[in-house]
Structure 1
Amino acid sequence: MSEYIVTLLPVYMESSGEYLGSVRLRKFQKDLVDVKDGIVLLSAPTGSGKTVTLLTDPDRRVAIGLYPNNELLCSQIAGLHSFINNYLEMKPDKTSLLEYCVKGYVEIDYSPLNIYVSDKPVDFFGRKIKEIGIAGFSGEVVKAVANKGKLNELIRVSDELGKMIEKNEDKYVIVLATPDTFFLLVLYAYSNFDAVGRLLHYIITYGNEVFSFEDLDELMRKIGLIREKLANVARVLLPVRESTIFIDEYHLYGFYELSSFTALLYLLKHVHGWEGRLVLSSATPNFVFQEKIGEKLGMNVKQINGLNQVKETGDGDELVRGPTNIVFMDVKTKGRNRVSKLYMSSELAYDLLNREFFKKQFKKCLKSGKRIMVMLEKVSHAELFTEKFYSIYGVKPKCAYSMFREDICSENEDWNIIVGTGAKIGQGVEYPGVIFGVVARIESTDFLQSISRVGRKYPGESIVLVPLDTELLKELDNVEIFSRGKVSYVELAKWVENDGRPYMKKKPSGFENIYSTFISIRERLVKLVGLALHYRVSGAYMEEYMKQLKQISGGLENIFIHSSPDNLYTLLMFRATGPSVHYCRELKGELKCFDRGEDLGTIIRNYDISSRDGRLVIKGFGRGEINVECENIQALVDLVNLLKQDGKRLLIDWYTLKNIYKCSLRVEVNDGAVELLTSVETELEDQLFLIPEIMNDEFAEYIYRTGRGLRVKLNKGSLILLYI
């Protein structure tokens, strides 16, 4: 058996009798209109109109949408533009934000804002709307106007939005942001990183001591937290008080981000006076997130399950147009276990390019609008596939991932063939005009998310190609929902959710435990910083600050700081991320170095690496090996063991590791010779790490290979350096 084909049945959504403009709402959208407050857990298929829920709260004047990355944020801006323009018949008065998202660059008079107006009021569930403003708040979007100053531009846009909704019932504002930017704004920490790091150091070091608020205020003044500057950050958040907050693709967030969200929403309530509605939206629910968010916030939780409203026939548009066939294609590998077979079948996917089945389908793709999407595991697999694809077919696709190669990728924005990561394609980003796509770094949830993302506007047949090891392919005969050759969207969703892709690599047991104590303390630290900075801005007595300080006082003793105070600001980042480093590549015998940086974990996971003159060099496809070696390793091990006896965790930055414990980054080059990665060490100096305890080799390997940290190999076990 060379192919195993399963047909995905048509997907329709149950409609309601309610209209917004000229479009009839789907039932789950109308259900959301009827929910006035609390937390809503919204599950609905990809492309069903979850983003339209930003327009389903007539009782409030502001909706805030949080999206995991800039690509998805821009995709939603384009989607909202289309909906408002076509269905609400509101004319665009200003579209500079949309133009930036489409073009990728800006004009001189750019502002991250779209304005839509109508001569005739639009019925908004009993409320009449004549003007809608859409603003974009993300690092990438605001960076485009950095010559004016990021904060100044945010203030200017927020002031304009504030004037729109002030005493104007016929105006509505939508703010789309990445959680990273919004998180820092809510904390008042935006553009105050070093000073906030020093405040964190003070709270951790002296938090148990009694002090007056006057002393706290004086401390913040001395360390550079200027009241006027903080007040400017507060101005950006003026529209937030009366808002619906919409968190999209929340299944992507793990327990670290969960603690960030709970701290964020806590501060919105206790500092910024937010009393709105929270909507958590995804096609693939995160049940851990669901269970904990309501409990932590003390808010009522209501579920709206749009998956139960999916039908196989209907009178509206299909979500997945035309027949969609999921084709698992046989790839022979030498993998020794399920995980290695899975990864090797993805790596060898280029073998499909020479098969008659692929040639025939790709020919139809070019001539008749048939759509093809290839699902792979890693960025390097997609790059290798692209390299072979170009050599065979002479076509350069558009590459939607940061480490793209100009020799095999096209810069043509209008090109209808695309290669990208799950973050670029599988997380809600639309590519309606594309007929052939390759998605890398696929997780089981991304598999469901990615179906129908490519070429949605074409009504013809769609094929999803999944390369699979011969032995794993045979196992599909035992999957009940595939045995009849057809599967509904709901059945596929449940399979992915419960036991789809059981050959995926699992986290080692106890993975969450190494973070749990630290994350709990860090969450309270974030709250304390937000409360303290609010006190600095407003001068109001903060009972909540003292309450949180008492709750956290015992936990602070479980953190041992071995870092520059300035570098502690990393604790206030929304995500735990690894360092971005510069690199060079060997291409056709020449060394080319790039100005753009890349996540170190991504490089390690995907490429064979070397060093030249202290610089990181990518040699080819494979897995990189960077060793951390410390001359004073015994002193570091003794410290970690001593802290473990007292139940403490070590927070340390690379600067301290390098200068106190004489640690360095080394990579093997030729014939066993080892070279230093001095350029990477320089870029790592501010990086903060959590070192919990000595771990077994399996645990350390998982942390290292998944890009969550580095490791120091010992005679027995390893020290893991978890990125913070």
Structure 2
Amino acid sequence: MIKIDSYRIERSDENLSGITLRKFQSDVLRSTSPLIVLDAPTGSGKTLAYLAKALKENFGSTVIVYPTNALIFDQLSSIQRLLSALGKKSVLKTPIPDEIFEDTGSGDVSLYVVNGETLNTLAKNSNTTEGRTWLSVLRKDDSPQRVFLTNPEVLYFLFLLRFSKSNELVDSILKPNERHMLVLDEFHLYYGYSLATIYFMLMYIRNRIDQFIFSSATTTVLPDFLGEPERISAAPSPYGDTIQHELEFSFQGMSGSTLSTDDIRELSGLVERAYEQSGKRGKADVVVILNSVLTAYWLARELENKYPGLVSEIHGLVPQGERPKPQELRSLVVGTSAVEVGVDFDTGFLIFEANNVGSFIQRLGRGGRHSPCRVIAVIPSLLCESFRRQLGDGETISRVQLLDSVRNTFSSLPLYSDFLSTQGANLVLLSVLASWVFKAYDKITIKECVDSLTRSLREDRYILPEGLVSRRDELLRTLQREDFGGIIRALGKQMSVRSTLSTLPAFFDLRERSGFDFISLDDLSKVMFSIKSRKEVKRLAKERGKKLPLRFSEYEKIVIVNKVLDRSEKTCISVDKDEYSSEPRPLYSFWVQTLNNSEPYKELLKSQPAFLVDERSDWRLAGLRVCRGGYLILGGDALVAWSANR
């Protein structure tokens, strides 16, 4: 074990409504730059920095985009407390399902939680569409300032006209006679495909935003059209506020980019040893944070067999209302990123899985918040030797040294920030435009869609932002490629911020638990599954007492997970390698080798973009191993791999 010194950050002399600000908070408050990149650790007070700036500069709307719904709900209560401490009365204008109800009164600041659940609740209460209901609530709001907490999917769909009355909605949120701020929290989680779609959205709305703040744990390269940012960081100080207590840190490898069945069994033994070494206080003695709901469910079953009644689960298969509160946590806590928010636990032993810088830093920050803690990071084995060299031979290092070692070890994973200027990104943009056409004309053919896009671009029917006007001719040439039509159709039909196949909507119909969450293409090798239509899944979920989430309503097909296998399968795909080695093409002629039924794979992968690479150098890109050598990148990620390869 390596000892990590406690971490303190610098204070400022500035006081705001009785709150002494930290220096980075004061720097954000005083900054005159319209573009800020903020680097501050978990729990350091980034939210206070956003709110203080919003109040001081009297922004009409402050839109804060969080990467997950769980983080939105977690930050809501924090923002309510902070606004109260700053002397402002906040009023919640949107209902939170099963928890909090909206306040119809007036106040200094209106709070809006905008995600699939709250929009669905609004629509049900008023018996109309989400867009019309949201617009109605906004029109009645006379508060001088508004704060919107949302996720990238909702913001993306809103500004790309997926909601009814969308133009009016934009004007009601970003009123023309006011100044507005947009915050993108945890921006390091976006890369490649998702980064390109976010940037396209920002091109469309940048003239409506007066202040941008990007919060990131890693070096962030922003596109030229946004301008040069001011970079502000939370500087360490030996005399500042303690953000994290001392840690005893170690790490171990997992066999691949995700945990295998063998890894789970080894991890179960690790948790058992950690629990026996803990003080056995009976509450959150060991906390485990994993990447996928499947592995969390799997590990919890293993531990429950060993320690019946001592395991708390916090993940997507556990409904929000059934998740334990901090005082209700049992000795062993197992979950996904849902553990990272809403549960401010004090644990003596933290074990977490991480295969990128962002998740490593975020999860490390959950340990030692209240008292010293032992931490074990589980990382891909191929990175272990590099990480060991980076850490060095010292018995004690600083948190800054640890984070530098993490960044250097995981630096081989690119952001693909230059993807925005490639032909692959042109296909993404055309798919965005095509999604509008598919939304308007459900049964339109791909040829009719391409013809419609071509006419609209030639006749300037689409308002292209300044950064894209010069690419009009490129877009038209790309449309003339017949072989790209299938790709535009496949992506346009499932258009979202994230790449198709990067995460798959799933209904887990398991004996112990059932519920909706997402599953990765890698994790399909660990389960028996089938593919059903949205209508079929909705009916099955109703039989199980579950309801189809609004965020799943855009998907035509959904994975049904029927059983977790005792051992992961060695799945591979057989294709004509020459067909996919030069550029991405829709996947038609292929065969998936699996011990179980291969038909669900065929239904899932048919028509998806595919591109062949020699090896899987970036495990974040979705794909399958090719039976005769190589790796086939699939879905929107195929465009990223193709562009990077060129």
Same fold per superposition (TM over 0.5): yes
When residues 279 and 577 of structure 1 are mapped into structure 2, their CA distance, relative to the original with a 3 A threshold, is same
Q: Which residue does 2:505 correspond to in 1?
A: 580
Match of 2:335 among 420, 444, 464: 420
Q: Distance in 2 between matches of 1:479 and 1:235?
A: 50
Aligned to 1:213: none
Equivalent residues of 2:11, 2:23 under 8 A apart: yes
Residue among 18, 22, 28 paired with 1:22 = 18
CA distance in structure 1 between the partners assigned to 2:87 and 2:419 by the alignment: 53
Please list, as runs of the form range in 1=range in 2, the aligned pairs for 1:148-547 lying within 5 A after superposition: 148=127, 149-161=129-141, 163-164=142-143, 171-190=144-163, 229-235=165-171, 237-239=173-175, 242-269=179-206, 273-282=207-216, 284-285=217-218, 287=219, 290-291=220-221, 293-295=222-224, 297-306=225-234, 309-314=235-240, 316=241, 318-320=242-244, 322-328=245-251, 347-355=265-273, 358-363=275-280, 365-366=281-282, 372-374=286-288, 381-403=295-317, 411-413=323-325, 415-417=328-330, 418-421=333-336, 423-425=337-339, 429-433=341-345, 435=347, 439-440=352-353, 443-453=356-366, 456=369, 459-466=370-377, 483=394, 485-499=395-409, 516-523=422-429, 526=432, 547=470
Aligned position for 2:31 = 35
Q: Could you say if the C-alpha distance between residues 114 and 28 of structure 1 is closer, same or farther in structure 2, counting changes exceeding 3 Å? A: farther
Deviation by residue 1:511-558 (Cα, 9 ceiling, x = unmatched) = 9989953124424764899999999xx999889686552353334445
Point out where structure 1 has 5 or more consecutive residues left out of the alignment.
118-130, 165-170, 192-228, 670-674
50 and 534 in structure 1: CA distance in 2 versus 1, 3 angstrom threshold: farther
In structure 1, what residue type is equivalent to 2:121?
A: A
Kept in 2: contact 1:374–1:438 (CA 8 A): yes
Change in Cα spacing, 1:405 to 1:294, as seen in structure 2 (3 Å) is: closer
Partner of 1:8: 4
Alpha carbons of structure 1 residues 714 and 443: separation in structure 2 relative to 1, 3 Å: closer
C-alpha RMSD of matched pairs (Å)? 4.8
Q: Deviations over 1:648-678 (max 9, x none)?
A: 64356xxxx4xxx5x6767423xxxxx3545
Gap change, CA 1:688 and 1:159, over 3 Å in 2: farther
| Overall identity of the aligned pairs, in % | 16
Task: Give the secondary structure class of the aligned counterpart of 2:159.
Answer: helix
Cα distance, 1:263 vs structure 2: 1.0
| Change in CA separation of 1:70 and 1:691 when aligned onto 2, cut-off 3 Å | same
C-alpha displacement of 1:239: 3.8
Indicate conservation of the 8 Å contact 2:183/2:215, yes or no.
yes
Partner SS state of residue 326, structure 1: strand
Instruction: Give the residue type in structure 2 aligned to 1:708.
Output: A
Tell me, yes or no, if the aligned pair for 1:106 and 1:144 is still in contact at 8 Å. Answer: no
- The alpha carbon displacement at 1:706 in A equals 5.2
2:297 and 2:92 mapped to 1: Cα distance? Answer: 39
**Gapped regions of structure 2 (runs ≥ 5):** 438-452, 533-558, 638-646
- The equivalent residue for 2:62 is 63
Partner of 1:560, secondary structure, is: helix
For normalisation by structure 1, the TM-score amounts to 0.67
CA contact (8 A) 1:346 1:468 kept: no
| Matched-pair contact (CA < 8 Å) for 1:65–1:176 | yes
Give the 3-state SS of the residue equivalent to 2:608 in structure 1: strand
Larger deviation: 554-563 or 36-45? 554-563
Given that residues 430 and 453 in structure 1 are in contact (C-alpha distance below 8 angstroms), is that contact kept between their aligned partners in structure 2?
no
Alignment coverage as a number of residue pairs: 579
Q: What is the TM-score normalised by the length of structure 2?
A: 0.74
- Tell me by how many angstroms 1:48 deviates: 0.8
Residue 86 of structure 2 aligns with an amino acid whose one-letter code is L
> Alpha carbons of 1:45 and 1:472: their partners in 2 closer, same or farther (altered >3 Å)?
closer
* Structure 2 CA distance for partners of 1:80 and 1:616, relative to 1, 3 Å: closer
* In structure 1, distance between residues paired with 2:157 and 2:138: 16
Q: How far apart, CA to CA, are the structure 2 residues paired with 1:495 and 1:23? A: 34
Counterpart position of 1:124: none
The one-letter amino acid of 2:154's match is T
